[in-house]
Structure 1
């Protein structure tokens, strides 16, 4: 069975949905065989260059004018629909995987191939943007009503989806996202500490949901801890204009193998999300590498990590989160049990299971 899927994001974009797209659908031996597309890079918006296998990447569509709201969004969708039809119209596709319930690729795929069964995967950003942008809310509601099945990685995602649009429970399937199986069987060798400093790592986007400016400044000032940050360059440098990050060790935006190696070189990963997280791939990958996780127990993330990570206490502020890191810097032995629990938790989420269950649901849709 051949699947058609894609993201209307420029090649090289950061984010969990992009990583999952590569893990599942791309590479020399994809777990879900598919024709896959992304957008050509926008030269006006240079982003981090993430090394990939160029021989097994997505097909690139040159469709400018990406928007989020209003009439210009629908003009962009019309152009993207035409590009998808032209590139993939002669294929033998049997099912469409919508990689969001919002954004441009979803309505474009629905318009380009309305006769094919559709499986929608909810990633989290679509729900957040639908809550904040009326145009994206309209896209989400239409896609949710059209798709034959909607896949969510957590129960929290299903709950949030139903606050935005009515969806019958029997049309929602929970399939947890997964991490590459080889990371579970052969993680990088841990690098022991050689100093008394607790090696703290922040890895991810520096968005407003993370309260990043205040948090990083507070973490960098903790006595007995050193802070490293792996984030997109533009976001880090913009943040450095508003906060004193001189004590932060900036690692750049790391590709997956280098990020996993960085996990093995640190003692604590901080995940300070203040809003819904779809799943938390970075946190689970860190656990597979033996890196304990301190997180804000927001919906989705709390469901995935449960008792396998250290939940931050307090009021959810940057001050309260930093105080938890300060306490752990003074009692690092408390992280030994968290590390062991993290290994066990990560083992619950092999990517091969995610792919198998997606293929099974796709087969059900194709069979009618």
Structure 2
């Protein structure tokens, strides 16, 4: 997942890459991968230099490998949406999640909806371990968002999709819904390989689309200012919806599917719609671009909502939690 793009990548001070191959999800190969990760971690991390383990997933290989490499250290598990999705569809990942929940000293969820979903998957989990700490967006973005660009009158209404294009993200629903809306342009910022999988759906939709590539965060923030609306058509759940919050911090209103997690984070600061119903999306987009003052009101509400989630507050809460369990 984090393969370097050059033979000798430049890394921040204190970070190293582990040359462990074989990442996978199921079967004997998965267990061999976890064992290889454990050996690499044991050789690389001095136990006496570590206070608390931050387990950045309840599933996948890193969490069981880290627990086995440092078995005596207190553990904070941080729940991400992919953990729950993969635990529901892969037997070995469900086992890893159940064991990680049992062994964690604290389980951090970014939204109440994530706690509800976790407890449905692992009903025997100790509820007293669950702590609600929202994820955050960079303080520097909140303090100094990029300046908005001016566009000539009569320009097309520009929509932006930014993120992965895996099935649960709802891109095909989005394209089908936008087919019925004249006078809009859609920009897509996503990994190139995933964008290629949409070629047929893009062609069939007839929507005017610009592919922007897979943007680094500062590029994405500038891109927000060049559009009128961010669309978030996720079909299943979102842990938090950080891209939507970053868009709001940059003054870009959000049109979203009110799935668990995202509905908690955005609520009335964005516009909820149903991307599975093209008529509903057409109605909401038309209302947003024609109602005087509506987009301006959403920009104001979005900035106020994003300001509730500074990354420094997340760091402070996690640090305090680490002190409590260590």
Q: What TM-score do the two structures reach when normalised by structure 1? A: 0.82
Mapping for residues 330-349 of structure 1, pairs under 5 Å: 330-331=290-291, 333-349=293-309
Structure 1 residues 53 and 324, CA, compared in 2 at 3 Å: closer, same or farther?
A: farther
Matched, 1:357 2:317: yes
Aligned to 2:172: 213
Structure 1 residues 63 and 310, CA, compared in 2 at 3 Å: closer, same or farther?
A: same
- Structure 1 counterpart of 2:77, from 103, 108, 120: 120
Structure 1 residues 159 and 294, CA, compared in 2 at 3 Å: closer, same or farther?
A: same
Aligned to 2:16: 59
SS class of match (2:208): coil
SS class of match (1:201): strand
Matched, 1:266 2:227: yes
SS class of match (1:55): coil
**2:173, 2:276 within 8 Å by CA — same for their partners in 1?**
no
- How many angstroms does 1:246 deviate by? 7.0
Aligned to 1:203: 162
Report the count of equivalent residues.
Answer: 320
**1:119, 1:150 within 8 Å by CA — same for their partners in 2?**
yes
- How many angstroms does 1:214 deviate by? 4.5
Mapping for residues 310-321 of structure 1, pairs under 5 Å: 310-312=271-273, 314=274, 316-317=276-277, 320-321=280-281
SS class of match (1:274): coil
- How many angstroms does 1:62 deviate by? 1.3
Distance 1:296 1:350 in 2: 24
**2:177, 2:281 within 8 Å by CA — same for their partners in 1?**
no
Structure 1 residues 69 and 321, CA, compared in 2 at 3 Å: closer, same or farther?
A: farther
Aligned to 1:287: 248
Matched, 1:305 2:266: yes
Distance 2:292 2:34 in 1: 51
Distance 1:109 1:266 in 2: 42
SS class of match (1:61): coil
Matched, 1:187 2:141: no
Deviations 1:233-255 (A, max 9, x none): 11112211443177201111110
Distance 2:5 2:35 in 1: 19
Distance 2:292 2:30 in 1: 50
Mapping for residues 234-245 of structure 1, pairs under 5 Å: 234-244=193-203
Distance 1:62 1:358 in 2: 29
- How many angstroms does 1:88 deviate by? 1.1
Deviations 1:199-242 (A, max 9, x none): 11111111211231342354266322221111111111221144
Where structure 2 has 5 or more consecutive residues not aligned to the other structure, the ranges are none
Distance 1:258 1:353 in 2: 24
Distance 1:332 1:207 in 2: 36
Structure 1 residues 162 and 321, CA, compared in 2 at 3 Å: closer, same or farther?
A: same
Mapping for residues 21-36 of structure 1, pairs under 5 Å: none
Matched, 1:136 2:136: no
- How many angstroms does 1:322 deviate by? 4.6
Q: What TM-score do the two structures reach when normalised by structure 2? A: 0.92
Structure 1 residues 227 and 63, CA, compared in 2 at 3 Å: closer, same or farther?
A: same
**1:119, 1:148 within 8 Å by CA — same for their partners in 2?**
yes
SS class of match (2:49): coil
Structure 1 residues 271 and 214, CA, compared in 2 at 3 Å: closer, same or farther?
A: closer
- How many angstroms does 1:195 deviate by? 3.7
RMSD (Å), alpha carbons: 2.1
- How many angstroms does 1:57 deviate by? 7.6
Aligned to 1:3: none
Deviations 1:36-80 (A, max 9, x none): xxxx3499xxxxxxxx97334842111111111122111110011
Matched, 1:111 2:68: yes
